[in-house]
Each structure stands twice: as C-alpha cells, then as structure tokens.
Amino acid sequence: MKSRLIATACVFLLCFAASSTGNAHPEILVVKGDGDYAPYEIIHPDHNVSGLHMDMVTAVADRLGIHITFLPLPWKRALDMIQKGEADAITYMSKTPERSQFAIFFEGNILSQVQNGFFTLKSRVHEFQYTGDINTLKTHTIGMLAGYNYGPEFSRATFRARDAGAVTEKQLIRKLLNQRFDVGIGFVTRIQYLSKEMGLEGRIVFLRPFLQSIPQYIAFSRHSPNASLAASFAEEMALFKLSWEYKALLNRYGLDLVN
C-alpha cells in the first residue's frame, strides 16, 4: 500500500511539473552592444543595463508574460549569437539586406530613430548658410567620430578637412568647444542629451534640416527557437507606443515622440 502511495505521488508530481513547464512564461535572451549609449542604452558600473530601449522591451515583455534577460557584449559577438540562434533578440540594430538574412525586422519593433545632423557653437551659427545641401559646408572642417558611417551622401561630400580624432561624442563636443573644427556631425538626440549633461545646453545648436533618420529595432534571430515571438512582440510594441506609459518614458529621458 505504501509503495502504491509513493508511486501515485511521484506520478502526480511528474504531471504537475509537466503542467507547470507547459504553462511557464517563455524566457528570452536579449543581447546588446556593450557601449554606453545614454539615454537609449546605459551600462552601469555593476554591469546592469538601463535606458529607454531596455524599459520599452521590458514593458512589452511584461505585457506578454515573457521573462527578459539582457546581456551586453561586444557588438560583433552579439551579432554572432543572433546569427547562430544562441540569443533570441538584439537591440539597437538597423535593418540591412545582409542582416535580414538572419534577423527578423518588424516595423512594430522599432525602438527609436537615429537621426544625424550638423551642429556648431551658437556663437558661430551665423557663419553657415546650410539649408540641407551638404556642399554648402565644403569650405569648412567637419568633426566626426572615428570609424563611424554617416551615410553615402556624407561619405561622398568634399570638405576642407575631416577631423575624425574623437572616439566618443563627449570628446567630439569638447573639440568643438576648443574650435578644433567648425561643424560637427552626430546623432542629434545623443548630442543634445550629452550637451545638457555637460552643462552646455544653449551653447550648441544644430543646423537644419537634419539628415535622413535610420530606424533602430529590437530584431529577433531567425534561428532562435523563440523566433515566432517576433510578430506578437511587434504587435504589442505598437500598442505600447500609444500608451501613457510610453509617453512617460520619453518624458523621463527628455526625448520627443519620434516613433
């Protein structure tokens, strides 16, 4: 009798475990670059991550009952994991034909827009006649980040000189303050955020119009067992962007409604 009870209990526990596993919330691994891209993606000294993208992804995952683990990695390693299906999704990635072969890009999964623009000191803005034609800046020295691609139009343009000595946006801003170049080019929201952080708000202005914006996604790996979540995530993300919660997030990070 005792053996029967034990056997029955074991069967019950096995059935419960199987049932619990079947009803468990899915867990996905989201990789990201290990750089600091405040206010979008921030890495803290304790290696925790935060920022607008992390908050958006977490909020949508909570709505879907999905548990998220974020893992910051060198960008090439993060891409490799997505290509192999070792990670389920990656944040802050722009869409290209090559990447579309191994990653799923849904319009609903756009997290933000990267929009580059030319900026200069407010005290010198009268020196430039820029109206959207890059050629109007050809007699000036342009400051830019080392190794960064600002698009084919910028690559083809001819300037007096290109100063690509800055590794970070803060270095780029400081070089402008020291008048090492006339005009800088950079991610508009990022430069504005850092200028405010550095106490330079009002001293640096952007020339209008900005350059073409580039959507940044949370892209799901085509080779992940959780690839099917990409569509439902995109649907819920689109709804989230209509919510007061999303507007509150943008306000918290000092950003405009861009999506």
Q: Tell me the CA distances in angstroms from 140 to 100, 137, 154, 201, 205, one per residue in order.
A: 38, 6, 14, 24, 17
Residue 26 pLDDT: 87
Q: Which has the closest alpha carbon to 186: 144, 141, 138?
A: 144
Which range (26-40, 65-79, 147-161, 222-236) has the least confidence?
147-161
Both 61 and 187 in one domain: the answer is: no
Q: Whole domain around residue 189: which residue ranges? A: 114-213
Which pLDDT score, from 0 to 100, does residue 217 have? 96
Name the one residue in this structure whose structure tokens are 């000189």: 161
Q: Using DSSP, state whether 160 is helix, strand or coil.
A: coil
Residue 212's pLDDT band (cuts 50, 70, 90): confident
C-alpha 183/C-alpha 194 separation (Å) is: 17
What's the pLDDT score for residue 31? 97
Q: Do residues 135 and 203 share a domain?
A: yes
Rounded to the nearest integer, the mean pLDDT of the chain is 88
Q: Is 43 within a domain? A: yes
Do 168 and 223 lie in one domain? The reply is no
Q: What is the pLDDT of residues 12-30, one digit of tens each?
A: 334 433 333 444 678 999 9
Same domain, residue pair 118 and 204: yes
More confident residue, 124 or 146: 124
Mean pLDDT of 138-161: 88
Q: In the prediction, which pLDDT does 95 show?
A: 87
Asked if 142 and 159 touch (Cβ cutoff 8 Å), the reply is yes
Answer yes or no: do 200 and 149 share one domain.
yes
Q: Is residue 177 located within the same domain as residue 90?
A: no
Residue 13 lies in a domain: no
Question: In this structure, what token pair is assigned to residue 27?
Answer: 């867990």
Q: Which residues pair with 50 in a beta bridge?
A: 42
pLDDT band per the 50, 70, 90 thresholds, residue 257: low
For residue 10, being part of any structural domain is answered with no
Domain match, 143 and 191 both: yes
User: Mean per-residue pLDDT for 61-81?
Assistant: 94
Q: How is 108-156 classified by DSSP, letter by letter?
A: GGEEEEEEEEEEEEGGGGGG---SS-GGGGTTSEEEEETT----HHHHH
Residues 97 and 220 in one domain: yes
Domain count across the chain: 2
Query: What confidence tier does 234 reach under pLDDT thresholds 50, 70, 90?
Result: very high
Instruction: Band the pLDDT of 152: cuts 50, 70, 90.
Output: confident
> Which amino acid, 122?
K
Q: 83 and 207 share a domain?
A: no
Asked if residue 233 has pLDDT above 50, the reply is yes
Specify the pLDDT at position 111. 97
CATH of the domain at 55: 3.40.190.10
